[in-house]
Amino acid sequence: MIDENIKHVINGNYIVIPIETGYIKPNEDLNSIIIPARELMEDGDYLVIAETPISVSQGRLIDEAQYTPSLTAKFLTTVWSKYIWGYILGPLLGIKKRTIKNLRRLPEETKAHKEVVLQLYGLKHALKPASEAGIDLSNAPGTCVSLLPENPEKVAHDIKSEIGKEVCVMIIDTDATYMKNGKYFTGLPIAIDGIEADKGFFGYFKGQLSENMGSTPLGCSEEISVEKALKIANIAEDYQKSLSTEMKTIHSVKKVLGTSETGVTIEALDSITHTPAVIIRKIN
């Protein structure tokens, strides 16, 4: 089981142990995750890490203020995302009310964001009305955004090696994996084996007519079934959703940090407790 003095919650047949840190800064190592994981983990445990701290530690930040929106980016923001998806397709397909609300109040800066998506990932991903290509707007300073981690499977293997125990390390993104006719797919550019990735807008659209399976495992240190990976990823996501400091969207920033969406500093991000990872242990 677990020492009662160690912070944890029970989720069904699993114990969830949060790893709490400050803000992991650009190009900073991941020791604030690895060291407590090494101390707390036992053989057979899972370490589930959110994708953004990995990306930020890799320095995968893009300053969107450096991008000038093209006509295509402006159209995709104002007409396609805000109006067609915010008022017609979104309600018709039953997407989340929070997403619809956010689409209807897209800020001016979204045009530059769409240009970033167009240039780095192409139209297939830019057509997605929100959360394009897994780019995270909510946990980066200023006008920066973080891209998905580079080679998350290798990162998972490297972290496992540093922990030095027989554990499973998984990196996940909250963007959805869907299932239709027994096949798993995601709009994200990358996912573990068994989940068809890089479907962009087409995966998102098809996903609205399919079963939402929850968070997407991007990389894993072990060969693991998709079903097991999704189960563990969603236990981790359940814990994150319970936190008052969760910044799931850019609109959460003002509520959590008390600052404007574009006025976020590293100091402000470092002023709250972050939970970039959780340890998940099966109860015998």
Render pLDDT for 53-70 as a digit per residue (tens, 0 to 9).
999 999 999 999 999 999
Q: Which residues lie below 8 Å from residue 152, measured CB to CB, with a gap of 6+?
A: 51, 54, 171, 190, 218, 219
242 and 164 in a common domain: yes
Parent domain of 128 = 64-135
Question: In the prediction, which pLDDT does 263 show?
Answer: 59
271 lies in the same domain as 168 = yes
Q: What tokens were used for 230?
A: 């999704």
Residue 140 lies inside a defined structural domain of this protein = no
Do 84 and 110 reside in the same domain of the chain?
A: yes
Query: Among the three residues 135, 166, 181, which one is the final residue of a domain in this structure?
Result: 135
Same domain membership, residue 256 and residue 154: yes
The residue out of 104, 135, 166 marking a domain boundary is: 135
Which residue numbers in the chain have pLDDT < 50? 247, 250, 257
In a domain, 142, yes or no: no
Please say whether the beta carbons of 16 and 236 come within 8 A: yes
Residue 48 within any structural domain of the chain: yes
Residue 257, H or E segment? helix 253-257
Asked if 232 contacts 46 with a C-beta cutoff of 8 angstroms, the reply is yes
Q: Are residues 158 and 236 in the same domain?
A: yes
Residue 235 domain-assigned (yes or no): yes
In a domain, 90, yes or no: yes
Task: Looking at the structure, tell me whether residues 159 and 78 fall in a common domain.
Answer: no
Residues 25 and 90 in one domain: no
Determine the 3-state secondary structure of 10 from DSSP. strand
Last residue of a domain, one of 135, 157, 182: 135
Give the max Cα distance, the chain.
58
- Report the predicted TM-score, pTM, of the whole model to 2 decimal places: 0.90
Residue 183 lies in a domain: yes
Q: Where are the alpha helices (DSSP H) in 12-151?
A: 31-40, 51-57, 71-75, 90-93, 97-104, 110-121, 123-126
Cα separation, 131 vs 111, in Å, equals 14
Specify burial of residue 249 (Cβ count, 10 A radius: 0-12, 13-18, 19+).
middle
Rounded to whole angstroms, how far apart are CA atoms 73 and 125? 12
Are 219 and 171 a contacting pair, CB within 8 Å? yes
User: Is residue 47 domain-shared with residue 71, that is, in the same domain?
Assistant: no
If one counts the domains in the chain, the total is 2
Tell me: the pLDDT tens digits for 179-209? 999 999 999 999 999 999 999 999 999 999 9
Task: Based on the fold, state whether residues 236 and 162 are members of the same structural domain.
Answer: yes
